[in-house]
Structure 1
Amino acid sequence: MTEHTDPAERFTVSIGVREGVIVASASGELDYHHAGRFQERISEAWETLRSPALILNMAAVAFCDSMGIGVLVLLRNRSREQGRLLVLSALPAHLERVLTLTGLRGAFLIEPSVEDAIRSVAGSSGTQ
């Protein structure tokens, strides 16, 4: 017996504001099927909430393929163009390894937890 899971059920993004900073928590598989929706949700939150910074809580991301990495790079580039901070927090080991192997780890501001990311944003001048 084969179990079929709807791809939409394998990835969620919850968005909130903590201490004036957007915190988006991703959960599941950030892959080809979900990267576009992830990008849309983050872009909408940034436009609607107009925060100078956005923290991506990646703790519950179980898998990330090249499309997911591409969206992270796109969001990083967009944040720099707009003079906003993008902080990745709580990276799972597999995602940190991919960023390291691709040479992208140094391109991102990365903090071990959402709380550390909030402190980093609070102590920042607003540029990456």
Structure 2
Amino acid sequence: MELKVSTRSHAGHALVAITGEIDLYTAPHLQSEFTRLLQEGPSRVVIDMSAVDFCDSTGMNVLLSALKRMKEQGGALDVAAPRPAVRKILQVTGLDSVFTVHDEVPQEFLITEGS
């Protein structure tokens, strides 16, 4: 399955919306998007995972790497709206205590066109 990543930045914040499956084959695409985004230096990133059907350990490692780099830059990286299968992976691996996990995308990240 194809992985789609779209990023919207506003006022030092970024919302990364991911659609599809994050696995060994698609993780490099996500990694390169995070690398590009982190060069812009946002203070906070929220990853909208509401359209992610599957995420394996490779995908979790990409998310952890991005979190580590954000913290090194003094920023924060949160996970929002994970589907039950992804939430279960976060819980089983203990990563739900490493990431700040929101049930839905925080209101301040719902950037409307023209704002």
**SS of equivalent residue, structure 2 residue 25:** coil
Q: Is the contact made by 1:25 and 1:56 (CA closer than 8 Å) also made in structure 2?
A: yes
8 Å CA contact retained: 1:111, 1:117: no
Residues 107/116 of structure 1: CA separation in 2 closer, same or farther (3 Å cut): farther
Whether the aligned pair in 2 keeps the contact of 1:59 and 1:90 (CA below 8 Å) is yes
Q: 2:14 aligned with 1:12, yes or no?
A: no
**Structure 2 partner of 1:47:** 39
Say whether the 8 Å CA contact 1:55–1:117 is kept in structure 2. no
Matched, 1:80 2:74: no
8 Å CA contact retained: 1:46, 1:54: no
Q: Structure 1 residue runs of 4+, over 3 Å off?
A: 116-119
Query: 1:91 is paired with a residue of what secondary structure?
Result: coil
Cα distance in 2, alignment partners of residues 102 and 117 from structure 1: 29
Instruction: Write the distance in 2 (CA, Å) between the matches of 1:62 and 1:79.
Output: 25
- How do 1:98-113 and structure 2 match up within 5 A? 98-113=89-104
User: What is the count of residue pairs matched by the alignment?
Assistant: 110
Shift of the 25–85 alpha-carbon distance from structure 1 to 2, 3 Å rule, reads: same
- Of 36, 41, 47 in structure 2, the residue corresponding to residue 56 of structure 1 is 47
TM-score, normalised relative to structure 1: 0.78
Identity %: 27
Q: Which segments of 5 or more consecutive residues in structure 2 lack a partner in the other structure?
A: 111-115
- State the TM-score, normalized to the length of structure 2: 0.86
Among candidates 69, 83, 97, match of residue 88 of structure 2: 97
Partners in 2 of 1:32 and 1:67 — Cα distance?
6
1:36 and 1:12 mapped to 2: Cα distance? 12
Deviation at 1:20, TM superposition (A): 4.0
* CA positional deviation for 1:58: 0.5
Please state how far the C-alpha of 1:18 moved relative to its aligned partner: 4.2
